[in-house]
Structure 1
Amino acid sequence: MKLAQEQIEQFDKDGFLLIKDFAPHELCEKILEKATYHLENKIKPIETESEYLEANDETNTVRRLRQVYQREDIFKEWMTYEETLPMLQQLFGEEVVLTLAHHNSIMTKMPKDSSRTSWHQDRRYWHFENNDLISIWLSLDDEFIENGLLEFVPGSHKLNLEKDQFDEKSNFLDEHPKNIEIIKNRVHTNLKRGDIVLFHCKTLHHAGKNITDRPKISFVYTTRAISNKPLKNTRSDVEEVLLG
């Protein structure tokens, strides 16, 4: 699939782009079935909610399945889905590489035990020559504010933010006077199964807790332009996949 010029311009302006009903529902169902099995059995590597809650508030609830590319063929099938590549080539203007360094994950918001995801930019996770990376977020079922839908600040990927606007973990500080004004511009759109969101790694985003009685499970992976090399001897200098 190729993007229309207005979609390319919207991504450049906002730092994210929603595409409705993109992934086949049958594919989403197969991914969700395998993801549920890995989550229920806590198949490592995983990230738990205890890493995000207060020190005295322990839980082994899974927040993220890590390194999913090699776990199941159906996961790999989605991450190399042929309809996605033309869009990424348009946005990068060159060949595209799938990085397996961090956003190679099944993301969850479990009922009751989920924590809030603070405002942040994803560039904190990687070490490349530049910050022009694009993540692809796939909704495997309904996503809305009450179960932890992502919200974005349009245009935030172009802001010149200062160090004091972030805490020591690179979370964007909610109560910083400058940040309050920026966060006022937040937007969201409910997602359905098969919807995807492309977003720049400098676009500010966050998600609340899941206050419903059903899990929310999503899939995210990240790509870069072939010319944007990982820095040597960093966590980003790992196996990658050339998509084309």
Structure 2
Amino acid sequence: MKLTQEQLQQFQKDGFLILKNFANPKLCDEILEKAKKHLIKKQAPIETEQEYMSLNEDKITVRRLRQVYDREEIFQEWMTDKEIRPILKQILNDTPVLTLAHHNSIMTKLPHESTRTYWHQDRRYWHFENDDLVSVWLALGDEYLENGLLEFIPETHKINFTKACFDDADNFLDENEENKKIIEKRTHQNLEKGDIVLFHCKTLHHASKNTTDEAKISFVYTVRAKSNKPLKNTRSDFKEIVLD
């Protein structure tokens, strides 16, 4: 499968693109079943709400399952899906490489216990020669504002923000007057099982907490262009999979 020229131009303009009904529902169900088993066990490595928010609590609320590529074959099957490779190659204009150091994750928004994910750019996680990385977000069920749907701010991948726009954790400051004007341009589209979102690592995005009674569980991984090398002796200099 390949993007139409219109779709490619939309991604380049906005910094994100939604593809409806991309993944097979049966595959999504199988991924979700396996993910729930790991979540129930709180199987390491994980990221918790408590550590993310710097809360000194004994309670553990899973925010994400990390390093999922090596957990289950069905996870590997999705992350190396042959149908999406031509699309990623189009966007990157190069052979895509699956980087396993970051965003190799099952993401959760647990009911009532999850916290808001602040506006941010994913570039804060990585150390590559340039910031042209693309994430693939898979909805394993319905996603909407009340359960923590991702919202995006179009065209922010093209803006070179100053450090004053962010706090010490690289969250985009809501109270900054210039930032407020940018946040007003936020947009969202509800997702259903099998929908994917492709987004540039500099595109600002956030998600509210889950106020419903059901968990929202999603899958995200990230690719780089083969020519965009990780910087040596950084956390990005890690195991990778070339998607020829």
TM score, norm. by length of structure 1: 0.99
CA contact (8 A) 1:49 1:59 kept: no
RMSD: 0.8
Q: CA deviation at 1:52?
A: 2.8
1:36 paired residue number: 36
CA contact (8 A) 2:98 2:222 kept: yes
Q: CA deviation at 1:61?
A: 1.0
Q: CA deviation at 1:36?
A: 0.2
Q: Distance in 1 between matches of 2:167 and 2:176?
A: 10
Q: CA deviation at 1:93?
A: 1.1
Q: Distance in 2 between matches of 1:240 and 1:208?
A: 31
Q: Distance in 2 between matches of 1:55 and 1:138?
A: 29
Q: Distance in 1 between matches of 2:232 and 2:23?
A: 35
CA contact (8 A) 1:52 1:115 kept: no
Gaps of 5+ in 2: none
Matched, 1:61 2:61: yes
1:157 paired residue number: 157
Q: CA deviation at 1:112?
A: 1.1
Gaps of 5+ in 1: none
Which one is further off, 105-114 or 56-65? 56-65
The code of the aligned residue for 2:168 comes to: E
1:77 paired residue number: 77
Q: Distance in 2 between matches of 1:137 and 1:24?
A: 14
Q: CA deviation at 1:58?
A: 5.1
The code of the aligned residue for 1:239 comes to: K
1:105 paired residue number: 105
2:5 paired residue number: 5
2:230 paired residue number: 230
Q: CA deviation at 1:59?
A: 2.9
CA contact (8 A) 2:50 2:56 kept: no
Q: CA deviation at 1:218?
A: 0.1
Q: Against the structure 1 CA distance between its residues 58 and 208, is the aligned structure 2 distance closer, same or farther, given a 3 Å change threshold?
A: farther
Q: Distance in 2 between matches of 1:102 and 1:8?
A: 25
Matched, 1:14 2:53: no
The code of the aligned residue for 1:145 comes to: L
Q: Distance in 1 between matches of 2:96 and 2:49?
A: 32
Q: Distance in 1 between matches of 2:40 and 2:140?
A: 17
2:198 paired residue number: 198
Q: Distance in 1 between matches of 2:52 and 2:94?
A: 37
Cα deviation, 1:6-26, whole Å, max 9, x if unaligned, reads 000000000000000000000
Identity over aligned residues, as a percent? 65
Q: CA deviation at 1:54?
A: 5.4
Matched, 1:88 2:88: yes
CA contact (8 A) 1:120 1:205 kept: yes
1:214-229 equivalence runs, <5 A = 214-229=214-229
Q: Distance in 2 between matches of 1:154 and 1:21?
A: 22
1:136 paired residue number: 136
The code of the aligned residue for 1:43 comes to: Q
2:114 paired residue number: 114
Residue 77 of structure 1 aligns to a residue in which SS?
Answer: helix
Q: CA deviation at 1:53?
A: 3.2
Q: CA deviation at 1:55?
A: 2.8
Residue 101 of structure 1 aligns to a residue in which SS?
Answer: coil
The code of the aligned residue for 1:192 comes to: E
Q: Distance in 2 between matches of 1:73 and 1:163?
A: 41
2:242 paired residue number: 242
Cα deviation, 1:39-72, whole Å, max 9, x if unaligned, reads 0011110011101335355530111000000000
Q: Distance in 1 between matches of 2:58 and 2:132?
A: 36
Count of residue correspondences:
244
